[in-house]
Copies of this chain bind each other. A is one copy, B any other.
Amino acid sequence: MANINEVAKKAGVSVATVSRVLNSPNVVTPRTKAKVEDAIKKLNYEPSMLGRNLRNSESRLLLVLVPSISNPFYIDIIKGIEQSALDQNYNILLCETDSNPEREEIYFDLVRKKMADGIISMDPAVNIETLKELSKQYAIIQCSEYSEESDIPYVTIDNEEAAYRAVKHLIKLGHQEIALFNSNEKYLYARERKEGYMRALQEYGLPINDEFIIMTDQLNFDSGIEATKRIMNLKDRPTAIFSVSDLLAVGALKEMNRTGVKVPEEMAIIGFDNIEFSNMTYPTLTTIAQPMYQLGTVAANMLIEKVNGGEVTNTILNHELLIREST
């Protein structure tokens, strides 16, 4: 528990020199350096980041805001963020908002109180007004979900195009009646994916049936089951489902298995996200793969750049259609 003073005394130098050995070793003579390093070792000295951070007015902590860590979609993104952060001597504060505004405020307070140097927001339900306000003073990046008119830099994929390709894939397979399991359209990605869905149908002259468009409140397994029940109760059933989330699609798959509907023969299903689990289901799930790890590394790099006063440009990453057993 020695501090820099004790090290300085033991080595017979000033604290400034100890600090130099730690931070710019090349400006001190090898001889002094050796003395200091010796003292450090003998005293088992570990520099305190509390002192350093106060002096440098930084925390070297990055806030990562996710709606829920239960959603595997975020896992690889987080891994990417963490790797980039570590590479640049930052650490991440992973914050789960649970779409709870109070929690969100607690986390926002961390940056106001200088406990975090910046924010990567991935929460579609984030209070965008507060975020905009904060972005005037602090470094903020939006990852995956973003608000167009916020002026806050973002990294994402082309959701409209991805949805378009997914639906086109179903149409080419011969499907004409295609359901859409969508999220609440207050979210940008939901609107964009719906547009892609409609563009594909229109391009092939297929009618848009409103009964086939199900809006779910949550992107989870149970919502997928429920949405499936609703379309299976229609007298005119679709033959394929495009779901904007793998979790929803897994629910659909489960309901098909339960009721004995054969996938993909009687019902084709396509998901979105390529969560790890989508390859473990029976049958495996066709899905849109987002470059999640890369979304994470890019977001982290952008944020760190911004924290250091740099300028940053919006980025659109590529996606990919993974054709597996469910279509």
Which A residues fall within an 8 A CB radius of B? 1, 46-51, 53-54, 57, 59, 61, 69-70, 72, 75, 78-79, 82, 86, 91-94, 96, 103, 106, 109-110, 112-115, 137, 221, 250-251, 253-254, 257-258, 276-277, 279-282
* Number of identical protomers: 2
Whether A46 contacts B93 by the Cβ 8 Å rule is no
Contact of A51 with B49 at beta-carbon distance under 8 Å, contacts A75-B69, A96-B82 already known:
no
A248: min CB distance to chain B, Å: 11
Whether A250 contacts B114 by the Cβ 8 Å rule is no
Whether A254 contacts B277 by the Cβ 8 Å rule is no
CB neighbours of A103 from chain B (8 A):
86
Complex-state Cα separation, A109 to B282, whole angstroms: 44
Scoring A70, A72, A110, A280 by chain B CB atoms within 10 A of each residue's CB, the highest score goes to: A280
CB neighbours of A59 from chain B (8 A):
49-50
Whether A113 contacts B69 by the Cβ 8 Å rule is no
CB neighbours of A50 from chain B (8 A):
50, 53-54, 57, 59, 114-115
A325: min CB distance to chain B, Å: 10
A106: min CB distance to chain B, Å: 6
CB neighbours of A137 from chain B (8 A):
1
Scoring A49, A51, A61, A103 by chain B CB atoms within 10 A of each residue's CB, the highest score goes to: A49
Scoring A50, A53, A110 by chain B CB atoms within 10 A of each residue's CB, the highest score goes to: A50
A321: min CB distance to chain B, Å: 22
Contact of A280 with B251 at beta-carbon distance under 8 Å, contacts A75-B69, A94-B94 already known:
yes
Complex-state Cα separation, A115 to B53, whole angstroms: 10
Whether B91 contacts A110 by the Cβ 8 Å rule is yes
The one of B53, B113, B251, B258 that contacts A47, using a Cβ cutoff of 8 Å:
B113
Identify 22 residue pairs between A and B in the complex whose beta-carbon atoms are under 8 Å apart, listed by A's number.
A46-B114, A47-B113, A48-B114, A49-B113, A49-B115, A50-B50, A50-B53, A50-B114, A50-B115, A54-B54, A69-B75, A69-B78, A70-B72, A70-B75, A72-B72, A82-B96, A91-B93, A91-B115, A94-B94, A221-B276, A251-B280, A253-B282
Scoring A53, A57, A70, A78 by chain B CB atoms within 10 A of each residue's CB, the highest score goes to: A53
The one of B49, B79, B282 that contacts A254, using a Cβ cutoff of 8 Å:
B282
Complex-state Cα separation, A281 to B281, whole angstroms: 7
Complex-state Cα separation, A106 to B70, whole angstroms: 26
Complex-state Cα separation, A257 to B257, whole angstroms: 11
